[in-house]
Amino acid sequence: MNPHDTFEIRCPVHGFVALNDWERQIIEQPAYQRLRRIRQLAWTDQVYPGAMHNRFEHSLGVMHTAGLIYDAIIRNSSKVLHDELGYDEQGVKRNRQLVRLAALLHDVGHSPFSHASEELFPDQENGGGKFVHEQYSAAIVRGPLREAIEEHKLNQGYNLEAEDVAALLEGSAGARQGIFWRDLITGQMDADRMDYLLRDSHHAGVHYGRFDLQRLISTMTAIRGKDGGPPRIGIQEGGWHAAEALVIARYFMFTQVYFHKTRVAYDIHIREAMKELLPGGHFPTPEQLSEFLAWDDWRVLGLLASGGGGEHGARLSGRHHYRLVFQTNEVQTPDDKARLVKVRASLGELLAAEMPAGKSWYKTGNTDIRVEDERTLGPVPLSVRSSVVRNLGNNDQVLLYCSPENRLEAMKKVKEALDGME
C-alpha cells in the first residue's frame, strides 16, 4: 500500500472524515478500536433512545474538526504565528499533524461508559487526587500506540514522538511550543466540544447543541496578547455571534441532556454497580495498562447480564432508577443554598444520592472567549460583546435523589422542610 494514500470514513455529522495512512494505521490498533465499545454518553439512551453512539466516531470527528480549526487559524493569522512564535512552513505542517493525532487520541484513555465511571479511577500516590482519563490516554500513547505513531513512513519528515502527543494531551512542558495548540484539544472553543455538541444532538435527536460550525471555524484566529503578552486562540470580530451560539448550545445541552435528572440517576447507578464489579472498587492504574484496557462496555454489560453489580446492577437491569426529590435553581443564591442545607438535613437517610452541577464533566463553567477587536487587533472578552454570555450565570444546580421505594416519604420531608421558608 502506498503510504501517501488517503482514505475517507462516513460520519453522520461531518459527511466524510478524511485521513492519511498514518492515521489509519493508528486507528487499526486494538487500543483505538476499543473505543467502538465505549459509549459516548453512558446510559443516556434511557432518556434519549438514539444516544447509542461511541467514542470511536466522536474521536474521528474531533480529529477532523481540529484539522479544520488549525487550517483556519493558519490562514487567518500566519503573520502573528510567524512573528510571535517563529513558525515556518515545515513547522506549520508538523504541528498540523501533531494536533490531528492529539485530537484523534484524546479519548483513548476512557473507562467504560465514559465520564460516568471516572470517579472510580484510583488515587495517585503523590497526593494529586484521582487519575483522570487524560492521564490514561497519555499512557496509552506512550505505550501501546508508540510504534504506530513513531514508525510510520509519513513521520520521516516530522520526527514526531509519542511523547509530543502525550504531553499535549496531559498538559505538560514536554509539549514545548506545541503547547500553544492545547486550547484546540481542551479549551473553551476546542474541537472536542464542537464535535460532541453536534454529535450528541444528532444522536439524541435534539437540536439544542446546534451552532454554525463552519462560520465559527472560519473566523478562528491567533490574537496578539494584551500588553505585549503571547498570542492566544480566539475569534475574529465577525465570528462572535457564532461563538455566542456555541456558548448557548453548551448551556442548553447541559440543562436538557447532560444534566437531565434521569440521565444523572443512571450515571450514579452505573458508577455504583461498577464499584461492585471492579476488584477493589476501582480501575487499574495507568501503569497497569493491559488490565485497564480489558475493561470496556461489553465486559461490564456481560457482568451485569449475569447478575453482577449488586443493588445498582439490579436497578439498571430493572429500570428501577433513583427519583429526583429536590433540585435547587440553576443559579444558586444564598437563599437557595440555605434551602438546600435544610432539605438535605430533613431527608437524612432517605437521601440516596446528591449530584451538584459543579461535579459534572460537562459543566458549563465561567471561561470567557477572546474576540479580536477589529480596530486594535487586541483581545476583547466575548462577555463584553454579548449580553447573553455576560448574563449567563454559573450553573450551580444541585440534584437530590431518593430511591423509588421511598419517594412519597421523601417528598413529604422536603415539603415539611420548605414550609415557611418560601
Partner 1 sequence: MEWNKLQDARLAVIAKLVSLAPAGYLGRTALMKFCYLLQTVRQVPLGYRFTLYSYGPFDADVLSDLGTAENLEAVKTSVVQYSGGYGYRIRKAERAEETIETGIGLLEEHVRDIDWVIAEFGSHGSADLELESTIVFVDREGARKAERLTISELARRVKDVKPHFEEAYIAGKAAGLYEKRMLRSLAASMVHA
Return residues touching partner 1 (CB under 8 A).
84-86, 126, 128-129, 132, 134, 170-177, 179-180, 182-183, 186-188, 225-230, 232, 331-334, 337, 356, 358-359, 363, 365-367, 373, 376, 378-381, 383-384, 393-394, 396
Taking the least distance from each CB to partner 1, the nearer of 312 and 385 is: 385
Look at the block and give the residue holding cell 435544610.
342
20's grid cell: 492519511
Q: Name the one residue in this structure whose C-alpha cell is 479580536.
A: 372
d(CA 164, CA 135): 14
Q: What is the smallest separation between the CB atom of 224 and partner 1, expressed in angstroms?
A: 10
Euclidean distance between CA atoms 331 and 342, whole angstroms: 18
Q: Is 186 helix (H, G, I), strand (E, B) or coil?
A: coil
CB of 408 to partner 1, least distance (A): 26
Of residues 29 and 329, the one with the C-beta less far from partner 1: 329
Long-range contacts of 384-391 (CB under 8 A, 24+ apart): 385/240, 385/244, 386/240, 386/241, 386/244, 386/247, 388/244, 388/247, 388/248, 389/244, 389/247
The distance of closest approach from Cβ of residue 5 to partner 1 in the complex, given in angstroms and rounded to an integer, is 35
Q: Evaluate whether 31 touches 109 at the Cβ level (below 8 Å).
A: no
Cα gap 188→194, rounded to integer Å: 10
Question: Is the Cβ of residue 28 or residue 83 nearer to partner 1 in the bound state?
Answer: 83
* Closest distance to partner 1 from the beta carbon of 386 (Å): 12
For the bound state, the minimum distance from the C-beta of residue 382 to partner 1, rounded and expressed in Å, comes to: 11
Nearest residue (CB) to partner 1, 276 versus 368: 368
Instruction: Identify which of residues 272 and 296 has a Cβ nearer to partner 1 in the complex.
Output: 272
Residue nearer to partner 1 on the CB measure, 54 or 188: 188
Task: Name the minimum Å distance from CB 193 to partner 1.
Answer: 12
